[in-house]
Amino acid sequence: MQQRPVLLIAFYNKKALGVRYLERSLARAGHNVIVVFMKDFNSRAPEPVTKKELMLLRDLVSETDPGLVGLSVMSSLYLDQVIAVSRLLRDEFGIPQVWGGVYASMFPEKSLEYADFVLRGECEEAIVELADAVLGNRDFRQIKNLAYKTSSRGESPLTVINELRPLCEDLDRLGYPMFSGKNKYFIDGGRISPGDPMLNSISYELSASRGCPFMCSFCSSANLKRMYAGKGKFVRFRSPTSVINELSEAVENIKGLKIIHFWDEIFPDDRVWIDDFATQYKSNIGLPFVIWVHPLKTSEYVISKLADAGLYKAVMGIQSGSQRIRSHIFHRRETREDILKASKILTGCGVRQITYDFMLRHPFESEDDIRQTFELCAELERPFELQLHGLSFLPGTDITRIAEKHGIAAPISESGPGKPMKTAFQTYWGQKSGSAMINFWYSLIYMTQFGFGLRIARCFSKARKTGIIIGIASLLSKLLRPAAAAGRLYKKARMLAAAYIRKYVASRADRQALECPGGK
C-alpha cells in the first residue's frame, strides 16, 4: 500500500529555504511530499490568513490526505496565523502535526500546546525519522531533536524534550532546497495556485553557510548557538561547487532570473573559499548578487574578489553609533574604527549599492547615543542607503533579559491568542519616540543619505535646537522620503539592466560558439 504524503506548510515565505531543505530530504528518503506556501512575504504589514484561504487549505488537505503535517514556525510575529491553521487541521482532520523552525526550537513547550510533536534545530534527518515512524506506525520516542507530551491515562502529561543530534558538518550532504512545480501550492489573495511560486520569480534565494559567529543580544542566533553548545561546529560553509551547482540549476529552471540573494547570516569570509567561489561564480553564473556583511568580517581581499564576481549590493548591520549601546546593550564587539574601515572597503571595492542597518529610538537610547549615531553616519563613505528600524524584543532573546535588568517594560514581538499579528509587526518595526530631541537626531540621520541632506544636517547639528529648527528637520526628512524611494527604484532598475546585459552577452556568446564550433 502506498504511504500517505507528508504536507509541509511555510508561512509568509514562498521561497522558504528551511521547508525546501526538508522537502529534499523527505523526497530522497522516498516520501511523497506536498508543500503549501501560505501567503506571500510582506516584511512590514502582512495580511492575516482569510477564512476563504483556510477553506482552500482544508479542501487541499481533504483531497491529498496527508499522514503527517509539518508547520514551519520561523517567526513569532505571525504565531496567531500558525495557530489558526494548526487548529483547523486538528479540529477537522486530527492529522498528527509537527512544528519546527526557530520559534518552535526555542519554545517547544509552548508549541506543544498546539502541536503533537516539535522538532528542534536543523531537521533534515529528524523529519525523515519522524515521518517513517508516524506513517509506519512505529515508536517515535527515541528520535533525537524531538519533543512531545506523554499520555499515560489518569496522569497529567509530561513534556519530553529529547537531546539534539550533532550539527551536520558536511552541509553538501544535505543537497539543496527543492524547487519544482510538482506538489506545490501557493495560497494567497483568496486563491490557491498550483506550482512553485519561486519559478516565476526574478530572484533566487539561497545560503552558502549556516550559523553566525557572533552573539548579538537582540538576535535568536545567539540562542540557537547556545542550544547547540557541544554539538559540533556552529558556523559551517558549503563547498563553492555545491553552491554553484545549485545556482546553475536555478538559472536553467527559472527563466526570468535576474538577481541572486545570499541569505547567509554573514557571508563566508575564508580566503580559500572566496577564491574558489568568486572564480566559479564569475564564469558560471555572473548575475548580480546581494549579501549580508558584518563590520568585523569585511576585508578588502574578500570584498574586492566578490565585487569582481558580481557583488552588487551589501547590507551591513551597524545598529548604533554609540559604543555604549553597541557593546553593553547589543553585545557587539566592533568599534567605530572597525565600522568606518569596513565602510571604506565596501565603497573602495566598487560595491554598487551599500545599505546600513540601524536600530534606533528604543528605550535604552539617550539623546547622546542617537547623536553619536548621526556623527557616525556623517562619516560613513558615500553613497549609501539607510534602513532604520526600531529595536525588536524577540521572545527569549538576551535583550529581553537586559530590558528586565534595566527595569524597562519591553513590548515582546510575538503574536498569539488575543495578540494580533498587526501589533506584533508594529512593535517589531518600532515607533516614533516621545522625545522631540531623539526624533530630531533621527531626522538628521535620515538626511545623511543624500549629499545636500548631509550638508544641511551638519549645519542643523551645530545650530541651536529651537522649535523651528526641529520642525524644519522633521519636514525635510519627510520630504526626502519620496527621493529615497525613487533612488531605490533607480538602483533596482540599474541592477536589472546589468543582469539583462549580462544574460544577453552570455546568450550571444553561446550562439556564436554554436555557429562556429572550435573557432575563435
Contacts with ligand SF4 by CB under 6 A lie at 212, 214-216, 219, 221-222, 265-266, 294, 317
Nearer to ligand B12, 179 or 273 (CB): 179
Query: What 3-state class would DSSP assign to 188?
Result: strand
Binding partner at 317 among ligand B12, ligand SF4, none, C-beta below 5 to 8 Å by kind: ligand SF4
| Minimum distance of ligand SF4 from residue 216's CB (angstroms) | 3
Please list the alpha-helical segments (H only) found in 314-435.
323-324, 336-348, 367-379, 398-405, 421-429
How many other C-beta atoms can be found within 10 angstroms of the C-beta atom of residue 299?
A: 15
Interface residue with ligand B12 among 5, 7, 12, 114 (CB under 6 A) is: 12
Residue 428 binds ligand B12, judged by CB under 6 A: yes
Residue whose C-alpha is closest to residue 314's, from 244, 384, 243: 384
Contact stretch for ligand B12 (CB under 6 A) within 5-13, 345-353, 436-444, 447-455: 5-13
Residue nearest to ligand B12 (CB): 100
Nearer to ligand SF4, 265 or 367 (CB): 265
Query: What 3-state class would DSSP assign to 122?
Result: coil
Relative to beta strand 146-149, strand 159-161 is antiparallel
| Minimum distance of ligand SF4 from residue 220's CB (angstroms) | 8
**Binding footprint of ligand B12, residue count (CB under 6 A):** 40
Question: CA angle, 447 as apex, 442 and 450 as ends, to 5°?
Answer: 155
The interface mask with ligand B12, positions 253-282, x = CB under 6 A, is ----------x-x-----------------
| Minimum distance of ligand SF4 from residue 246's CB (angstroms) | 22
Contacts of 486 (CB under 8 A, 6+ apart): none
| Minimum distance of ligand SF4 from residue 394's CB (angstroms) | 10
Interface residue with ligand B12 among 100, 108, 317, 321 (CB under 6 A) is: 100
Binding partner at 294 among ligand SF4, ligand B12, none, C-beta below 5 to 8 Å by kind: ligand SF4
- How far apart CA 51 and CA 448 sit, in angstroms, is 45
Half-sphere exposure of 148 (CA within 13 A, CB side): 18
How many other C-beta atoms can be found within 10 angstroms of the C-beta atom of residue 159?
A: 12
Nearer to ligand SF4, 215 or 470 (CB): 215
Identity of residue 61: V
| Cα dihedral 95, 99, 100, 105 sign | negative
Nearer to ligand SF4, 293 or 412 (CB): 293
Half-sphere exposure of 48 (CA within 13 A, CB side): 16
Nearer to ligand SF4, 41 or 263 (CB): 263
Residue 96 binds ligand B12, judged by CB under 6 A: no
Pull the grid cell for residue 253. 529552471
Nearer to ligand B12, 102 or 345 (CB): 102
Identity of residue 225: K
Residues facing 6 on adjacent strands = 33, 68
**Residue whose cell numbers read 545636500:** 452
Binding partner at 250 among ligand B12, ligand SF4, none, C-beta below 5 to 8 Å by kind: none
Pull the grid cell for residue 141. 520516542
Nearer to ligand SF4, 201 or 373 (CB): 373
- How far apart CA 96 and CA 7 sit, in angstroms, is 11
Helix (H) or strand (E) holding 369: helix 367-379
Torsion, Cα of 101, 357, 435, 331 (10° steps): 70
Residue 298 binds ligand B12, judged by CB under 6 A: no
Residue 117 phi, psi dihedral angles, 5° rounding: -135, 155
Binding partner at 77 among ligand B12, ligand SF4, none, C-beta below 5 to 8 Å by kind: ligand B12
Contact stretch for ligand B12 (CB under 6 A) within 214-222, 310-318, 451-459, 500-508: 214-222
| Minimum distance of ligand B12 from residue 37's CB (angstroms) | 10
Residues that bind ligand B12 (CB under 6 A): 11-13, 15-19, 21-22, 41, 43, 70-72, 74-77, 98, 100-103, 119, 122-124, 127, 205, 207, 219-221, 224, 263, 265, 394-395, 428
